[in-house]
Structure 1
Amino acid sequence: MTILTENGANSVVRDVTRKRAIPESVFAWLLVAPAMLFIGVIVAWPLAETIRLSFMEAGLGGEEYVGLANYEDLAGSRKFHQTIVRTFYWMFLSVALKLVLGLIGAVLLNAAVPGRGLFRVLVMPPWVIPIAIGCIGWLWLYNGYFGLLSGVAQTVGITDGPFEFLAYKSSAFYSAVVTDVWVGTPMITLFFLAAMQGVNRDLYEAAWVDGAGRFYRFRRITIPQIMPVIVSMSLLSAIFTFNSFEIIWILTEGGPRGATTTLIVDTYKTAIGNYKFGEGSARAVIIVLLLGLFSLAYLFFLNKINKKYGVK
């Protein structure tokens, strides 16, 4: 008869537990498996299917392999080249305005003024309300006959009669930019505000003791300290704006005469509107490549800017 001491029993339990334990490598793969499955189903598989369709002449009638024909057509299309230029111009203009207005708004909301809590709440509606509802409101504002903007322009003598902002190429494009800036600025403002509130107040006090003015403190303390947030929000806003669809589609549907047609709108019209799934997939692949190249170039130059400001 074998009698186990307390130490012996603990040793046996540890041995059994060690034998039944899952290896660390297997356990690690089990932890990341749900995320990998999600990425595979939601991202990888649709992307692979899009790449496959880009080599097809695909429509409601079926599919036919055409190789690089879809890409060759786009490479030789002057209209598509103009769409690419228009999309980047739309993105840079809109993002630049969002960053400037967001920075100004954050500075004002960070100031010690009465009722600043109320002002911080009032800045959120453009970001909180559904984009479709906001765009319908802007449609009313841009209307030439009963819109507020046209009425004000007539009252002050800027125009002699009703002016349809969305009926002309230039005015429609910049009207869409204004609406996109209205939607996206509150988010950037709140992120900048949160970053400013995290700056060490001792830095401002030391600079104030040394006689530094407000603009100098803002340029040499605030901007370098919040530079990581500026970098992140610039890149995120650029990607969101590049892929913005709802605003343009609700306001103009890409018109008039293609003045507000960006790559994402052009892709939708081709693939969904005209049922040319192969050509639309080729456009989607090009969008992914352009965004990837832009992101790499953007991060490269901003990394140099961060080094200049001493941000790690």
Structure 2
Amino acid sequence: MAATIARPARKPTDWFPYLLLLPALLTTLVIVAWPLVETFRLSFTDASMNPVTNYVGFDNYRTMFERRFPDVIARTFLWMSLSVALKIVLGLIGAVLLNAAVPGRTLVRLLVMPPWIIPMAVGVFIWGWMYNGQFGMISGMAQRIGLISQPFEFLAYKQAAFLSTVVTDVWIGTPLVTVYFLAAMQSVSTDLYEAAWTDGASRFYRFRRITLPLIAPAVATMSLLSAIWTFNSFDIIWILTEGGPRSATTTMIIDTYKTAISRFRYGEGAARAVMIVLFLSAFSLVYFAMIRKLSSRGDIR
């Protein structure tokens, strides 16, 4: 008869780490998992102000794509792409300038942060005043230098309002991107720059052949994170335009809010929220896959 190997008894202390994680797990289930499950359930109903709720299957999803929702998706990706591209480009330029050995650069670095530090609502309200055609600074300056002959309401026209929300989002998000890239640049060994300088390499060559390749993981990471934040941004557009004029700035998150909260069509709003979760989940999967790949290559430690 084969001898059985007795397993060591589990000590009470072995459960202690799990007990410490239990409050965080319960909190996550209550404030994250349960709302997601409930939103998914509501997306298959006609939930509204009516206390009677009926199961409607995929009607909400079918109706959603019949009501120009694909245009909202395309507008969301356009808004996100423009904003993220500008933030990445301006962030790189700002990081290069802040990384230069100039007097007072510590003070300059501090002065870069206010757009990101101040409350978002305050900054957006200030931009709303500047966009005003009657007393706004931008319209007034454009008239003084002769670009326009009369007051121009930036938020009253579709294309102007769309670009205005992009500019405001870039103004708010660029400081964080700049500081992130600056930290990545400061991790590059100065020996590489000194060797290239000794060989007669120009500044642009050193940036293109040394700086940019070495901070590429940081650029990729910030691009994906900024895309997720921008895609899910609500405050900027809602404070400036509330999705107008004529839905010119209505993104997926704005359309979801209007449907579920303003029109009290909770079922249709839940279906739109599920679509947002799917898109953001795709972004997150790409982000984690990229992090895993960079970690395996040794670019991230």
Provide TM-score, normalisation by structure 1: 0.87
Distance in 2 (CA, whole Å) between partners of 1:133 and 1:56 is: 38
Aligned partner letter, 2:58:
L
Query: Is this contact kept in 2: 1:166–1:252, CA < 8 A?
Result: yes
Aligned runs of 1:155-234 on 2, under 5 Å?
155-234=144-223
| Structure 1 equivalent of residue 25 of structure 2 | 36
94 and 303 in structure 1: CA distance in 2 versus 1, 3 angstrom threshold: farther
The residue aligned with 1:119 is 108
> Equivalent residue for 2:62?
72
Give the whole-Å Cα distance in 2 for the aligned partners of 1:198 and 1:293.
30
RMSD (Å), alpha carbons: 2.2
SS at match of 1:202: helix
1:22 matches 2:12 = yes
Given that 2:224 and 2:283 are in contact with CA atoms closer than 8 Å, whether structure 1 keeps it comes out as no
Q: What's the offset of the Cα at 1:69?
A: 0.8
Post-superposition offset of 1:296: 3.7
Q: What is the alpha-carbon distance in structure 1 between the residues aligned to residue 155 and residue 148 of structure 2?
A: 15
| 1:146 lines up with 2:122 in the alignment | no
Q: Does 1:254 align with 2:259?
A: no
Structure 2 vs 1, CA of residues 298 and 29 (structure 1 numbering), >3 Å: closer, same or farther?
Answer: closer
Instruction: Measure how far apart 1:194 and its partner are.
Output: 1.2
Give the corresponding residue for 1:277.
Answer: 266
| Deviation per residue, 1:121-144 (Å, 9 max, x gap) | 111110000111001110111010
Question: Alpha-carbon deviation of 1:67?
Answer: 1.1
Q: Deviations over 1:244-278 (max 9, x none)?
A: 11100010000000000000000000001011111
In structure 2, the CA distance between the partners of 1:299 and 1:224, relative to structure 1 (3 Å rule), is farther
Paired residue for 1:263, among 237, 248, 252? 252
Structure 2 SS opposite 1:166: helix
Cα distance in structure 1, aligned partners of 2:79 and 2:10:
60
Instruction: Provide the C-alpha distance between the structure 1 equivalents of 2:205 and 2:219, rounded to a whole number of angstroms.
Output: 19
Out of 135, 149, 159, the residue aligned to residue 124 of structure 2 is 135
Q: Quick check: 1:224–1:310 contact (8 Å CA) kept in 2? A: no
Deviations 1:93-135 (A, max 9, x none): 0000000001100110111111111111111110000111001
Larger radius of gyration: 1
- Shift in Å, 1:302: 9.0
Query: Structure 1 unaligned runs (5+)?
Result: 1-17
Q: Secondary structure at the match of 1:58?
A: coil
In structure 2, the residue matched to 1:54 is 43
Offset, 1:200: 1.3
Q: From the superposition, tell whether residues 205 and 74 of structure 1 become closer, same or farther in structure 2 (CA, over 3 Å).
A: same
Cα gap change, 1:20/1:298 in structure 2, threshold over 3 Å: closer, same or farther?
Answer: closer
Question: Structure 2: which 5+ runs fail to align?
Answer: 1-7
Corresponding residue for 1:4?
none
Deviation at 1:295, TM superposition (A): 4.1
CA deviations over 1:13-46 (Å, ceiling 9, x no partner) = xxxxx9793163x334223322222221121111
Corresponding letter in the other structure for 1:64:
N
Matches of 2:292 and 2:140, distance apart in 1: 47
State the alpha-carbon separation in 2 of the partners of residues 297 and 89 from structure 1.
19
2 CA distance for matches of 1:301 and 1:194? 20
> Does structure 2 retain, via aligned residues, the 8 Å contact 1:88–1:242?
yes
Contact 1:227/1:311, CA 8 A, preserved across alignment: no
**Most deviating of 79-88 and 147-156:** 147-156
What amino acid sits opposite 1:247 in the alignment? I
Q: Residue 3 of structure 2 aligns with which residue?
A: none
